[in-house]
Amino acid sequence: MALSKQTKKNIQTRTGSGFSRGSYLKQYWFIYGIFILVMSYYVIFKYIPMYGVIIAFKKYTPTLGIWGSKWIGIRNFEKFFGSMFFMRTFRNTLIISFLNLIFAFPAPIIFALMLNELRNEAFKRSVQTISYLPHFISIVVVAGIAHDFLNKNGTISTLLNSLFGMEQKVWLNDSSAYRTIYILLDIWKDMGWNAIIYLAALSGIDVELYDAAEIDGCGTIRKMLNVTIPGIMPTIIVLLILRVGSILSVGSEKTLLLYNPNTYEVSDIISSFVYRRGFGIDSRADYSFSTAVDLFNSVINLILLTLANFLARRYSETSLW
């Protein structure tokens, strides 16, 4: 709470000692105690790992520790950039993220716009409530359902076969279908949830604007184009800029559950590669190499996000920092 001048004066008269350092700390020891506790958490679990990234430039040996391990310069980075894995994981990360941006980003906007047109409140609320549901289902269950439905005799395989005569197969082993599946799952899981923020923006639009547009003879589509979309444009732009800023940060949680060696060519992304190399899933665990790849990714992300934030600040009122 801001201490107004009046308040400070009151405290001063009360304690009679003014604002010397001692009385200030005496007043706020609780706050500073919390700061120490909270900062310890951040230092131990966030900042010491940041110091730990120096193992990317070392040959990490557990017995020698982070500092004691031998420096090897940028050899790990050379190894990564020189391998086939660099192009594969970099390209896949970029493509999956880009497809998500093109298809999964607009989905909640379109969904919110359509929802906004529903006149029957009860129906609207039901649709909305149902649409959030998948957001709360664990990714393990979602991936499990996907594996089952896309299995040889699964729901989707059967459906595709009877509707389009497509071959019944294990779709998640098919490289050409993997990305489509990945993006559709993104949409299925989070479209409804991500629409909330747009619905909030929609509810803020002045009703009089719609009335005026109606008097001017605008139909549903014209109202959408001329009133609704301009009304939520600021929200869209901010979210879009931030989304572009995180184009190369794709988490591994979903990929680890959906991919398999048959599809690595299109499914393996930087973060899943970091996980496999770090914990030695299909080769010897290599802490230093894995950290080097991870660091490369984090640095690019930081640069992109800084750039995005700069743009957000420049072209809209909102920014991250």
Partner 1 sequence: MSRYYRSSGEVLIRIIIVLVMLFVCVTTLYPFWYILVASFSEPLEVVRAGGMMLWLRGFSLYAYKEVFVHRLFLRSYYNTLVYLTFGVATNMFMTTLAAYALSVKGIKGAGAVMKVIVFTMFFGGGLIPTYIVVDSLNMVDTMWSQFVPYAINTYNMIILRTAFRGIPDSIEEAATIDGATPFKIMTMIVLPLSLPSIMVIGLYYAVEIWNSYFRALIYIRSDTKYPLQLILRQVLLSNAMSQQDMAFVDTNIGLTVKYATIIVSTVPILMVYPFIQKYFVKGVMIGSIKG
Q: Phi and psi of 70, rounded to 5°? A: -75, 135
Selected range binding partner 1 among 9-17, 72-80, 81-89, 92-100, rule: CB under 8 A = 9-17
- Does position 87 interact with partner 1 (CB under 8 A)? The reply is no
List the interface residues with partner 1, window 13-72 (CB under 8 A): 14, 24, 27-28, 30-31, 34-35, 37-39, 41-42, 44-53, 55, 66
**Burial class of residue 132 in the structure, from the number of CB atoms within 10 Å of its CB (0-12 exposed, 13-18 middle, 19+ buried):** middle
Closer of 29 and 98 to partner 1 (Cβ): 29
- Give per-residue burial for 299-309: e unless 16+ CB within 10 Å, then b: ebbeebbeebb
- Kindly tell me which residue out of 22, 73, 136, 164 binds partner 1, with binding defined by CB under 8 A: 136
- Kindly tell me which residue out of 94, 101, 145, 202 binds partner 1, with binding defined by CB under 8 A: 145
- Give the DSSP per-residue string, 110-146: HHHHHHHH---HHHHHHHHHHHHGGGGS-HHHHHHHH
Q: Phi and psi of 216, rounded to 5°? A: -75, 0
- Does position 196 interact with partner 1 (CB under 8 A)? The reply is yes
- Kindly tell me which residue out of 111, 171, 178, 182 binds partner 1, with binding defined by CB under 8 A: 111
What is the C-alpha separation between 270 and 89, in angstroms, rounded? 5
- Does position 163 interact with partner 1 (CB under 8 A)? The reply is no
| β-strand partners of 70 | 59
- Does position 314 interact with partner 1 (CB under 8 A)? The reply is no
List the interface residues with partner 1, window 257-296 (CB under 8 A): 257, 260-261, 274-276, 278-279, 281-282, 287, 290-291, 294-295
